[in-house]
């Protein structure tokens, strides 16, 4: 019997990992789409909502493809996603994940720092949670990425999973 239900939505960083295998005690719905921008995620929410049972925890990890395309004005779309999910799943805890500091240019890295502060603001304003797990190691550990400088290696996914589960256990403990 599953201890809870998780919905993970986003881009290739969600799609590129077997979340269910790493969290066998939970029911995990993983809806990551490679190369997806945040507007596309908003557009496919109705189909996701029809396909799943109500989750206990929702993790949103999206926006990195917008950054790669030099589209830095997607925060309002993220806010719409959070509002929609909050209305659809009022009992779920929503977690906005920070964007990783990808290794494609210094300009992008600076933009990501600013965007993460905006993402954190959206989480505070909307009453959801913010998981800033990438800042803990990406600045000091460039080896967390595959050779493309964007996608994470297995060690980075292990760190992300540990941070996520730690965060979730805190949320679940706090709810009881």
Residue 97 has pLDDT above 60, yes or no: yes
Residue 166 has pLDDT above 60, yes or no: yes
Determine the structural domain holding residue 118 and report its residue range: 5-175
Tens of pLDDT, residue by residue over 125-149, are: 999 999 997 666 555 566 777 777 7
- The percentage of the chain sitting over the pLDDT mark of 70, rounded to a whole number, equals 86
Name the CA radius of gyration of the chain, rounded: 15
Instruction: Confirm whether pTM is higher than 0.75.
Output: yes
Assigned token pair, 34: 């490679």
Using alpha carbons, select from 45, 63, 36, 64 the residue that is nearest to residue 7. 45
Give dist(CA 167, CA 158) in Å, integer: 14
Residue 106 has pLDDT above 60, yes or no: no
Instruction: Give the CATH number, domain containing residue 46.
Output: 3.40.50.1110
pLDDT at 139: 52
pLDDT band at residue 42 using 50, 70 and 90 as cut-offs = very high
pLDDT band at residue 107 using 50, 70 and 90 as cut-offs = low
Give the count of alpha carbons within 13 A of 51, CB side only.
10
| pLDDT (mean) for 48-52 | 97
Which one has a higher pLDDT value, 136 or 64? 64
Residue 45 has pLDDT above 90, yes or no: yes
Using alpha carbons, select from 55, 63, 52 the residue that is nearest to residue 100. 63
Give dist(CA 89, CA 7) in Å, integer: 11
Which one has a higher pLDDT value, 147 or 111? 111
Tens of pLDDT, residue by residue over 72-95, are: 999 999 999 999 999 999 999 999
Q: How many domains does the chain have?
A: 1
């Amino acid at each position: 019997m599953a201890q809870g239900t998780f919905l993970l939505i986003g881009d290739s960083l969600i799609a590129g990992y077997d979340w269910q295998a790493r969290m066998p005690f939970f029911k995990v719905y993983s809806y990551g789409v490679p190369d997806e921008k945040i507007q596309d995620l908003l557009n496919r929410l109705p189909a996701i909502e029809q396909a799943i049972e109500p989750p206990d925890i929702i993790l949103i990890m999206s926006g990195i493809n917008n950054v790669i395309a030099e589209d830095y004005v997607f925060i309002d779309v993220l806010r719409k996603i959070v509002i929609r999910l909050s209305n659809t799943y009022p009992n779920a805890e929503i977690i906005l994940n920070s964007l990783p500091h990808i290794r494609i240019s210094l300009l992008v890295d600076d933009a990501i720092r600013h965007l993460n502060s905006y993402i954190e603001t959206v989480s505070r304003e909307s009453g959801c949670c913010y998981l800033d797990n990438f800042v803990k190691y990406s600045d000091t550990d460039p080896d967390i990425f595959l050779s493309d400088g964007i996608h994470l290696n297995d060690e980075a996914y292990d760190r992300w999973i540990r941070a996520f589960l730690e965060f979730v256990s805190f949320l679940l403990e706090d709810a009881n």
